[in-house]
Structure formats: C-alpha cells, structure tokens
Chain A
Amino acid sequence: MIDVNRRGEVWIVAEQEGGAIAEVSLELLGKGRELADTLGVPLAAVLLTAADGETTATRLGQYGADRVYLVEHDLLRHYQTATYARVVCELAAAWSPQVVLYGATALGRDLAPTVASALKCGLTADCTDLQIGDHTPPGSKELQKNLLLQIRPAFGGSIIATIVNYDRWPQMATVREGVMVMPQPDGHRRAVLVRHAAAFDGFRPPLAVLESERREKKVNLKAARVIVAGGAGVGDKASFRLIWELANCLGGAVGASRAAIDLGFVDKDHQVGQTGTTVRPALYVACGISGAVQHRAGMEESAKILAINTDPSAPIFAVAHYGIVGDLRVVIPKLIRAVRSGAKPEALATPLAPPEAEAGGARG
C-alpha cells in the first residue's frame, strides 16, 4: 500500500513485444499526458524488457512520457504474472506514483489485479473515460481534491459509474485499446531514462511456457474507414450475409454487437464495444443493433452514424446522425442498389487503404 502522495507521478505500464509497443500503451500516454498536466506532475512510462530497451524508451518519450523507468532482465523476456507483478510493485514502492494505468489487454487484465492485490489498492476495469475531479465522501465534510475519476459502464450498460479511491493509493485503472485517442509523436521530445535493477535473487518463475502461437485478428476494425455492423436484430446467421454484402459494397469492414457474437452470427474478432474494439470510422452503419451503452461506448465517436432498426425507440437512434426505421432485410438490398448506381464503380471496387497503423492521423 502506498500513502496518498500528491506529488506522485502519473504512470502508464507500457506493453511491448520484441520492441514493438502496443498501440494501447501509446494511447494511454496521450490521456496520461492530459492527466499529468492537470495535476502538475510528471508522466512516466514503466518498461520491462529483456534487453535493448533504450530504443523503445525513446519512442515512449516522443509520445509524451517525461520519464521512463526501464527494467532489463532476462526473466522479463516474456510476460509472466508473478515476474512482472513483482517488478511493478517494487517500482511503485520505490517511487510512489499516484496514478497507474494499464491497457485492458490479456496481459493488462492479468497483471493489474495481481498488482492491486499485492499493493492493497483499488483498480477499475475497462474505463471509457478518465478525468481529474473532486469528491466528498458520504458522511464527511472533507473535500478530496484532484482525484482520478474512473468512468465506466456497468450492469449491462444500464448505468455509468464513476469510481474514485481517496485513501489507499495508487489509483489504478485499465483502459481498452482504441478508447483513448492516439497522440501525435514529437520527434524532439526526450524522456529521462531511469534504470532500475530488479531484485531477482532466489526468485524462480512459478510457470513454464512450453509452446505459444500468435494469431492475427481476422479483421482490422480500427483501420476501417467504413464499418457495417450487425446485431441480434439481424435474426440469423444466414441473414448476416447482408451485413457482409453491404460492407463489401462500401469497401468497409464488418462489425458486430456482443449479442450477434453470442448468437454465433460472426467471429468474436468483429466485436465493437466496451469489451471489443473501440472504433471511430468515417461512417458506422448499425443494422439491427439496439444500442446498449457498452456497444455505444465503442462506436459513438464515429464521424457519421447510420442506424437501421425496426424499433424507432431503440437507443441506437439517440447517437445516430441518420436513421431508417425499417426491416434491414428490405433496407440493405435497397442501400446496395443505391450505392452501386449512385457512386463511381471503380471507387467502390477496391477496399479503401488502411491509414498508417501508428500515426493515428486518419482517426475520425
């Protein structure tokens, strides 16, 4: 446990593999920069790796980190819960950060709760927004100033909860990839490198990884300029073919709500929402999606939203720019015909090129 420490830094725990930094870590540097500036404290990144961390540390500086805590050790070559948690706790005890942010990735959702348990501090999962604000505990007159407001939907999206922790720090949260906007790197920015030698004497990792394989996602929703997404209202897997046809006709990618995934209409890789991918395409077409807040959290920043639904009271219409109240089985074929006749055929034949993966300039 770390005492409340108003001068403590804002930290993000960087995720990297083979020197490639996870996009969510760079996005967290953007949000972290904003929080650190509001608090008037430095922003730092924590980087654990086997070797050659300096190049990666330089990039973390260009994306907004003032300092990089670099720990290099052979035991840190591949992620392991016990090894990584031990080092993060050691760093936190030594430097007393006030905020620690993690990507809500498979790694982050394994590491962050382990660290929270060891430090006996709070943790809020899958935040959709983070702000700095004040809080008065119930039954108390003492105003707690400048806390991390951790904002997330809960209870199936029926509520938005704002969580704070004011007595046991650090304040920790995880954030899904794509939720925060990728900052523009500045080639002239330099972070101060702080090397830390982790104490691994007598430590043996409790687990051995015998085999592993990486799998690329079947679809890159974040890079798509147009997304056509289907929900439970599509009805069945055969009808979901219409979603694919419209997406192909618009040169876009196929997305889906959690309900459509659960019903087996399409693979989980296509999920848009708080627990899927967060997207900001130029056009998002929501077909048969009622619009639970978890889904809306993943798409409401789209530049243009077209909702197609038989139910005019569906919440998706609350975030839509264009709406068609009708049966998607009738409307989608009409849309495809209209697009084919109204636009130049060559513009639609080739899918639009994805923007540069990292610069993030093509977002919305």
Chain B
Amino acid sequence: MGYHCVVCVKQVPDTKGITGEAMKDDGTVNRAALPAIFNPEDLNALETALAVRDGHGGTVTVVTMGLPKASDVLRESLFRGADRAVLLTDRRAAGSDTLATSYILACAIRRLDADIVLCGRQAIDGDTAQVGPQLAEKLSFTLVTYLEQLLELRGRTLRARRNLGHGWEIVETQLPVLATVLDTANTPRPPAARRVMKFKKARCRSEVEQAVGRELAAAGDEEKAAEAARRCDALAQRGLLIEQWNLDDVGADLAWCGFKGSPTKVHRVQSIVLAGGAYREYPPTDPGVAQLVRELIEDHTIG
C-alpha cells in the first residue's frame, strides 16, 4: 500500500551568506543580490519523506508556493528523488503572511489526499516556524513539531521522537499527521546523477511561456501561445512538465489570500545601517591590552 507524503518546500534568500558584495553603499543589505537557495530544513523534511517511501512504498509529492522561479527547488527535489512536483503560483497570492500562506497551501494539499505532510521546522528568511502548525490546524491533521526521528509507521499509527531543546519526548498518534522536521533529523541524500540528467529539463508552464517570449519576441500573441502549448505538451509526454496551479485551481477563497487575506501588515521597515559607533579603541599590543584590562578592573567590571 504505502503512504502518500506531501513535502512543503520554500525557496529563500541565503541570509546566512551575507557578504560584502550584498552590501549597498549606504551600509544596508541588497536583498536582491542574495542567492536563492532551498530552505535548509525543508531538505530534511524531503529526506524524511523519501525514507518513508523507501521503507514502506508510496509516493512523495513536493509542493512550493512562490514565483515561477521557485521551480528551482522543485527540480532540486526531483533530482533527489521526489515523484511529483507542484508549483502554486498566482499574483493574487502576493503579500500573503503566514496565515494566508497556510490557507492557500491547505487548499492545495486537500486535493492531494496526503497521509503525512512534512515541513521544515522554519525558513531562514523569516524564522517564524508558523506555517507548519497553521497548516496542520487548517487541515485538521495532528501536529508533531520538532520531529527528530520517525521511529515507526505501522498501519495508521506513527511513533516519533521530538526534540524540544530542553528535552525530548516520544509521541504516538494516528495518521493523518503534519510534522515539522529539524535539521538534526537526518542527512539529506545528494541529487542522483541520472535524475539530474532527466529532470534538469523539467519546466512549469510559466517558465515555458517566458522562454517562448524571449525566443520569439517578434511573434504575435497567438503564435507565442501556440508555441508554448506545443512545448508544454512535449514536456508532459516525457514527464517533464511541472504541474502549475493557481488560486482558482485549488478552489481558494480570495478573501483569505494575499495582502487582503493577511491580518499582519507591515507598519515600517528600517534598513539596518551599519555605521561606526563611538567606542574606545585599544591597539592589539601588550601595553594596549594591559591598559584596557586595568580600566575594566578599576571600574569593577571584572576582578
């Protein structure tokens, strides 16, 4: 029989690798200059799903919500072993906060008939860790946060070890379950060379349309649409068309999507300006360091 695992993944700016090149002259970070990567803990969620399939059979479907460019993380998932990939993309979803995002993902996942939904614990761009628990609530799936080890799956019963930071616990529950997975859960398998060769040509419809627009810039709209449809058909026949859904496809109520469906609004954003402060500088020499230590002892900071 096997299990149907759905993995939610996200393409994020690589906030860990902020280097000088990503800094603007005014001392703020140029976010557009940060490379887009697979959110690290989502790779651990994907590995957990692939291990379930390896052990019990079934399928692994990967879902991402974002711009057509986010197909990168879907291709990466196919390279690593996912069976099916779905891109959720719609301009009307722009500005969604975690509540609206979890609503849209829930609409999509209801169509996939999942036994187990896996998410990374949190994404490195926002670090909120909210979409997983909110998605579980919307789907009425049992929530298992901070999953470190999936101990056993037997029939509809799941047993797992959670790491709470200040301790751990072993829980048992019935499927369907949504789990958020920690980076300590496993070591994600690397992309498989044969799968890379096959799926590097996988594209979603919007990517095909963009390519046609570039290549046939002089052509009329009808001609472009016909060419895009022809290419999509060809990709689909070879199993290389990434499924692309919009908000209508998943039956989402627009009142709960995007900016309008998001209760949290941005009041103000301040870029961090990394200006120099008024600190007292001591030279890195023995007399300089000794002078500093003397002052710290004299004002009773140390000693």
Contacts and interface: CB of A to CB of B under 8 A. Distances in A.
A259 B173 CA distance: 36
Nearest to B259: A138
A317 B173 CA distance: 51
Nearest to B281: A323
A343 interface: yes
Given A330-B284, A331-B284, A159 B130 contact: no
Interface in A304-355: 304, 306-307, 313, 315, 317-327, 330-331, 334-335, 337-339, 341-344, 347-348
A165 B137 contact: no
Interface string B166-186: 111111111000000000000
Contacts of A106: 145-146, 164-166
B91 to A, nearest CB: 18
Contact of A331 (B98, B164, B271, B289): B289
A324 to B, nearest CB: 5
A133 B264 CA distance: 15
A197 interface: no
Interface stretch (A52-60, A183-191, A202-210, A236-244): A202-210
A343 B172 contact: no
A306 B281 CA distance: 10
B274 A318 contact: yes
Query: Among the interface residues A109, A167, A319, A341, which one has the most CB atoms of the partner chain B within 10 A?
Result: A109
Nearest to B261: A120
Query: Among the interface residues A135, A209, A324, A335, which one has the most CB atoms of the partner chain B within 10 A?
Result: A324
Contacts of B290: 338, 341-342
Nearest to A250: B302
Nearest to A340: B293
Interface stretch (B64-72, B119-127, B193-201, B212-220): B119-127
Contact of A154 (B126, B133, B265): B126
B136 interface: yes
A44 interface: no
B130 A110 contact: no
A155 B29 contact: yes
Query: Among the interface residues A116, A213, A283, A304, which one has the most CB atoms of the partner chain B within 10 A?
Result: A116
Interface string B116-146: 0000000011111111111111100011111
A351 B290 CA distance: 22
A141 interface: no
B272 A158 contact: yes
B275 interface: yes
A342 to B, nearest CB: 5
A117 B99 contact: yes
Given A106-B166, A117-B102, A210-B159, A159 B292 contact: no
Interface string B263-276: 11111111110111
A160 B264 contact: no
Contacts of B271: 158-159
Interface residues of B, number: 79
B102 to A, nearest CB: 6
Nearest to B282: A324
Interface in B143-169: 143-146, 159, 164-169
Given A160-B272, A208-B172, A342 B266 contact: no
A126 B263 contact: no
Interface in A145-195: 147, 149-150, 153-168
Interface string A264-282: 0000000000110000001
Interface residues of A, number: 93
B282 A323 contact: yes
B16 interface: yes
A158 B265 contact: no
B28 A158 contact: yes
A91 interface: no
Nearest to A133: B267
A110 B134 CA distance: 9
Contact of A307 (B274, B279, B296): B279
A163 B270 contact: no
B297 interface: yes
Overall SS of chain B's interface: mixed
B133 A110 contact: yes
Contact of A161 (B159, B269, B282): B269
A356 interface: no
Query: Among the interface residues A158, A207, A331, which one has the most CB atoms of the partner chain B within 10 A?
Result: A158
Contacts of B124: 156
A155 B125 contact: yes
B171 A155 contact: no
Nearest to A168: B263
Nearest to A167: B263
Interface string B87-106: 00000000001110010000
B109 to A, nearest CB: 14
B279 A322 contact: yes
Contact of B264 (A163, A216, A217, A318): A163
Query: Among the interface residues B129, B256, B270, which one has the most CB atoms of the partner chain A within 10 A?
Result: B129
Contact of B169 (A125, A212, A303, A321): A212
A154 B125 CA distance: 7
B284 A334 contact: yes
Contacts of A126: 127-128
Contacts of B128: 124-126
A111 B167 CA distance: 18
B189 interface: no
B264 A215 contact: no
Given A122-B263, A123-B264, A215 B279 contact: no
11 contacts: A149-B267, A155-B13, A155-B125, A165-B263, A206-B142, A210-B159, A211-B170, A324-B289, A327-B284, A334-B285, A344-B303
- 9 tightest A-B contacts by CB? A156-B15, A326-B284, A158-B29, A122-B263, A212-B169, A122-B264, A117-B137, A343-B303, A117-B134
Interface of A: 81-82, 85, 106, 109-110, 112-114, 116-118, 120-126, 133, 135, 137, 147, 149-150, 153-168, 206-217, 226, 250, 259, 262, 274-275, 282-283, 292-293, 303-304, 306-307, 313, 315, 317-327, 330-331, 334-335, 337-339, 341-344, 347-348
